[in-house]
Amino acid sequence: MKTAALTRVSEFEWRIEPTGNMRVPGVIYATEALIQAMDEKVRDQVVNVACLPGIVSASYAMPDAHWGYGFPIGGVAAFDADQGGVVSAGGVGFDISCGVRCLRTGLRRSDVEPFNERLADALFRRIPVGVGSHGPIRLGGAQMDAMLTGGARWAVEQGWGTRDDLKYIEGQGCIADARTDAVSDRAKKRQRDEMGTLGSGNHYLEVQEVSEIHDRETARVYGLDEHEVVVFIHCGSRGLGHQIGTEYLKTMATSARRHGIELPDRELACAPLRSDTGQAYLGAMRAASNCALANRQIITHLARQVFAELLPEADLTLLYDVSHNTCKLEEHMLDGVIRKLFVHRKGATRAFGPGHPDLPDEYRAVGQPVLIGGSMGTASYVLAGNANPRVPSFASACHGAGRAMSRRQAHKSWQGGRLLKELRERGIIVRSPSLRGVAEEAPQAYKDVDAVVDGAEEAGLARKVAKLRPLVCIKG
C-alpha cells in the first residue's frame, strides 16, 4: 500500500483527502515534529478506518497515535446506525475500557516522601501485579454476572469504596445495557480470580506530585494545588476483556462477507450495529467496561487501606475515572443537527467540554477532567475538555505519550535493573515483579509526553491543567 499523502490544514492539523474506497477524510492532530516521528502505518490505518460503512465526519488520530491492531492506537471514529454503521472490536481494542483513575490524597510531597519506600513496599504487597496475577477475591457465577452488570456500583455495594466515588466515575460507575449472556464462559473463567489486580504491560499505580499548575481556576475546581500528592491507577478489564476481544474479532471476521462488508484489513473486522453480532458485541463490551470500572474501584479500596496504615491523615478522594478503549453511544452536533453516534475511542480519552450534562455538577463549568498517563519515569497530566466546535473530533483527546518503539525493541535496548537504579537516582521508586517488563516499559520507549500534551492543547482538543511527577510506581 502506498502511504497516504498528508495536507497540512493548520499548524496542528493534517488531512488525508478521500481516495479509493474512503468514505470520509482522515484527520491527524499533531505537531510537525510528532508527524515526522509517527509511524507511517498510522496513516494507512487512518485510511482503512475511513473505508468502513456508516462512518461519519472523518477518521481521526490523536497526537499520541501509533500503529495498533486494525485501528491505530489513538484512533477515533464515529458510526451512524441509521446509515449502516458498524461496530469494530479492533476499534475498541483487547483491553476493553482500559482507563485512568486519579485520587487526591490531601497530602503534600513533604508529608509523603519520608514514607516512599514503605509505601512502595506496602502497595506492591497489597495490590497483585504482573501477567496472570490473582487477587484474594474469587467470584462465583452469580457474583460474576452481578459484577458485569453493576460495575463500580457493585464494588461499592460489596464494601470496596463509598457511594461518593460513583459521582466521579464515567457513567456514574456503571455502563448500562451490559449482557452477561454475550460473555463466554471462558472469558468469565479468566476473570474469576483477577479482580483487584493491575495486570502487566503498561498498567500501573503511581503516587505522584503535582509539579506544575497551568490553569489555576480549573485546578482549584478539581481540588489540585502545587506539591500536593495524587494517585493514578491505570488498568482495564484484564483477561475477560482480552478474551471478549479475541472471540468477537474472529466472529466478525468470518461474518463480514455475509453482511456485505469488504474489509480493507482483516484486523478491522466489524459487524453492523443492528446485526445480532453487533448487538452481542456491544453487550459483551459493556460488561467488560463494568469489569474495568469495578477493578479500578477495588484497587482504589486497597490503596486506601495502605495509606490508612502508613499515613492515616491521608484522605483519598476520587477526582475522576475515565476510560480510553471504548465504543459509546453519544450525541454530537454535525452540520447543525444533533445525531446519536457510536463513537469508538481506542487509546483516546473522552474529553467533554464545559456545560456537558454528563459531567458532575462541580466540573460542569470548566469541563471534564482528562487524565493522561505517563510512562514510569516521565510526567502525567490532568487536562480539561474543551467545548470547541472548530475541532470536530467527537470530544476526544490523547490518552498518554504513545509508544515510540515496540516492546521487543525496548527489551533489546535497556536493562531492567539498570533502569530501576537510574529512576531511583531521580527520586522515583519502582516496584515490579519483572525486570523484562521494566525494560519493555522504559520511559525512552515512549514519545515525549510533554510534546504530545502540548500538541493536544494547541490543536484545541483539551487544555492543560496540571503536570504530575512520579514518586512511587507499582508496575505490572
Q: What is the pLDDT of residues 44-88, one digit of tens each?
A: 999 999 999 999 999 999 999 999 999 999 999 999 999 999 999
Interhelix angle 238-255/276-310, rounded to 10 degrees, is 170
pLDDT of 389: 62
Q: What is the pLDDT of residues 340-377, one digit of tens each?
A: 999 999 999 999 999 999 999 999 999 999 999 988 88
Residue 1: C-alpha distances to residues 5, 41, 43, 44, 399 (Å): 12, 10, 11, 8, 28
CATH number of 7-404+446-475: 3.90.1860.10
Give residue 441's pLDDT band: very low, low, confident or very high (50, 70, 90): confident
Residue 469 grid cell: 511527577
Residue 86 grid cell: 458498524
Are 241 and 288 in contact, with CB atoms under 8 Å apart? Answer: yes
For the segment 310-329, the average pLDDT, to the nearest whole number, is: 98
For the segment 292-306, the average pLDDT, to the nearest whole number, is: 98
Give residue 182's pLDDT band: very low, low, confident or very high (50, 70, 90): very high
Q: Please report, for the chain, the start and end positions of each structural domain, with discontinuous segments joined by +.
A: 7-404+446-475
Closest alpha carbon to 61 in 48, 429, 88, 108: 48
For the segment 129-148, the average pLDDT, to the nearest whole number, is: 90
Q: What is the pLDDT of residues 418-428, one digit of tens each?
A: 988 999 999 99
Scanning the structure block, which residue is given the C-alpha cell 515534529? 33
Q: Which of 203, 234, 324, 399 is catalytic?
A: 399
Global pTM reads: 0.96
Query: For residue 187, is pLDDT > 60?
Result: yes
What's the mean pLDDT when you consider all of the chain? 94
Beta-carbon-side half-sphere exposure of residue 424 (alpha carbons within 13 Å): 11
Alpha-carbon span 73 to 101, nearest angstrom:
20
For the segment 132-150, the average pLDDT, to the nearest whole number, is: 92
Least confident range from 261-270, 375-384, 410-419: namely: 410-419
Q: What is the pLDDT of residues 328-337, one digit of tens each?
A: 999 999 988 9
**For residue 75, how many other CB atoms are within 10 A of its CB?**
29
One-letter identity of residue 391 = V
Beta-carbon-side half-sphere exposure of residue 127 (alpha carbons within 13 Å): 37
Closest alpha carbon to 90 in 102, 78, 73, 103: 73
Alpha-carbon span 100 to 367, nearest angstrom:
17
Rounded percentage of the chain residues whose pLDDT exceeds 90: 86
Q: Is 356 a catalytic residue?
A: no
pLDDT of 446: 84
Query: For residue 130, is pLDDT > 70?
Result: yes
Alpha-carbon span 442 to 418, nearest angstrom:
11
Phi, psi of 427 (to 5 degrees): 85, 20
Query: For residue 1, is pLDDT > 60?
Result: no
pLDDT of 444: 86
